[in-house]
């Protein structure tokens, strides 16, 4: 593993500017002072109960937070601190997200165009076909629209899109729900191969077995705060459950 991280999150806090019933304004803080480094060649799992801030962290890195979000701290790619314009420029090229919701697929665009890009070179189209075959997506899927896919098919398409992006940072947010065991394991294997190629992979999951099978280390979030990190040699079902539940304090 190289010494310098590809992705660095430093002192990240996120709040949402809200209105109560009397139209009084207030800021709802959802992530507080979070630090995270992800190095090339590793998979860092993000664990935590529902509402702990896992997906918000992913959306902050990708520049996908809503307009009422207030962000402080820094997010850096290869040492360069990113502003919103930088994130938008890098998104889909150097930073790739496998989103939790399949609604991220464009409903008006055929699948092949979404995965490979319009007018993709032959080499990329060939690679897309190989990935589809590996994830048991039939060749005709590239001609379909998202509404014609099952939930599991849509998830496999989203994984394919991230793989084909060639991004250095890949954030997979709950990528396996709706997949059978064979496809879930194949998806995890693909993420491991990407890390072995030197990518920095962040894997968000609520499935402990998947995290144990895949990750190099784990960051644990609770109530919007990082409450600990578990190194690979200390990873176990017991240590993860204890950290998530708060037994580490």
Question: Tell me, what's the pLDDT at 248?
Answer: 47
Q: In the predicted model, what is the mean pLDDT of residues 195-223?
A: 91
Cα separations in angstroms, 26 against 66, 121, 142: 16, 50, 46
Q: Looking at residue 148, what is its pLDDT? A: 96
**What pLDDT does 120 receive?**
85
pLDDT of 246 > 80? The answer is no
CB 13 within 8 A of CB 72: yes
Q: What's residue 201's pLDDT? A: 97
204: confidence class by pLDDT, cuts 50, 70, 90: very high
Distance from C-alpha of 17 to C-alpha of 69, rounded to nearest angstrom: 6
In this prediction, residue 249 carries a pLDDT of 43
In this predicted structure, the answer to whether residue 247 has a pLDDT above a threshold of 80 is no
- What pLDDT sits at residue 237? 85
Summarize pLDDT for 137-151 with one digit per residue, the tens: 998 999 999 999 999
Say yes or no to pLDDT of 220 above 80: yes
- Comparing CA positions, the residue from 209, 244, 206, 194 lying closest to residue 38 is 194
Residue 174, Ramachandran bin (φ over 0: left; ψ between -120 and 50: alpha; else beta): left
- For the chain, the straight-line distance linking the first and the last C-alpha, in angstroms and rounded, comes to 30
79 token code pair: 């040492």
- Which DSSP string corresponds to the chain? --SS-SEEEEEEEEEEEEE-TT--EEEEEEEEEEEEEE-TT-EEEEE--TTSSHHHHHHHHHT---TTEEEEEEEEETTEEP-HHHHHHHBTTTEEEE-S-GGGS-TTS-HHHHHH-TT--HHHHHHHHHHHHHTT--GGGGGS-GGGS-HHHHHHHHHHHHHHHT-SEEEEES--TT--HHHHHHHHHHHHHHHHTT-EEEEE-S-HHHHHHH-SEEEEEETTEEEEEEEGGG--HHHHHHHHHTTT-
Query: Within the chain, what is the greatest distance between any pair of CA atoms?
Result: 58
pLDDT band at 21 (very low <50, low <70, confident <90, very high): confident
What pLDDT, on a 0 to 100 scale, did the predictor assign at position 18?
85
Distance (Å, rounded) from C-alpha 108 to C-alpha 114? 10
Per-residue pLDDT at 24:
83
CA–CA distances in Å: residue 13 to residues 29, 62, 116: 8, 15, 35
The pLDDT of residue 196 is 95
pLDDT of residue 22 exceeding 80: no
Tens digit of each residue's pLDDT (9 = 90 or more) over 49-107:
888 899 999 999 999 999 999 999 999 999 999 999 999 999 999 999 999 988 899 99
């Amino acid at each position: 593993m190289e010494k310098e991280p590809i992705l660095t999150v430093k002192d990240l806090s996120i709040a949402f500017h809200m209105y109560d019933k009397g139209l009084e304004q207030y800021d709802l803080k959802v992530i507080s002072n979070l630090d995270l480094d992800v190095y090339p060649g590793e998979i860092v799992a993000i664990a935590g109960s529902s509402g702990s801030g896992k997906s918000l962290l992913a959306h902050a890195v990708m520049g996908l937070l809503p307009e009422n979000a207030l962000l402080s701290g820094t997010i850096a790619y290869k040492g360069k601190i990113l502003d919103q314009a930088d994130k938008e420029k890098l998104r889909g090229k150097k930073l790739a997200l496998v989103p939790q919701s399949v609604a991220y697929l464009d409903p008006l665009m055929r699948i092949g165009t979404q995965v490979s890009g319009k007018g993709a070179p032959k080499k990329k189209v060939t690679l897309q076909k190989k990935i589809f075959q590996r994830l048991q997506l039939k060749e005709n899927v590239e001609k379909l629209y998202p509404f014609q896919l099952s939930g599991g098919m849509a998830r496999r398409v989203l994984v394919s899109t991230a793989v084909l992006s060639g991004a250095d940072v890949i954030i997979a947010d709950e990528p396996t729900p709706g997949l059978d065991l064979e496809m879930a394991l194949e998806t995890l294997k693909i993420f491991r191969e990407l890390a072995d190629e030197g990518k920095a992979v962040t894997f968000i999951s609520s499935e402990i077995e998947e995290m144990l099978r895949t990750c190099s280390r784990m960051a644990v979030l609770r109530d919007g705060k990082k409450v600990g990190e578990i190194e690979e040699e200390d990873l176990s079902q017991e240590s993860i459950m204890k950290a998530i539940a708060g037994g580490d304090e």
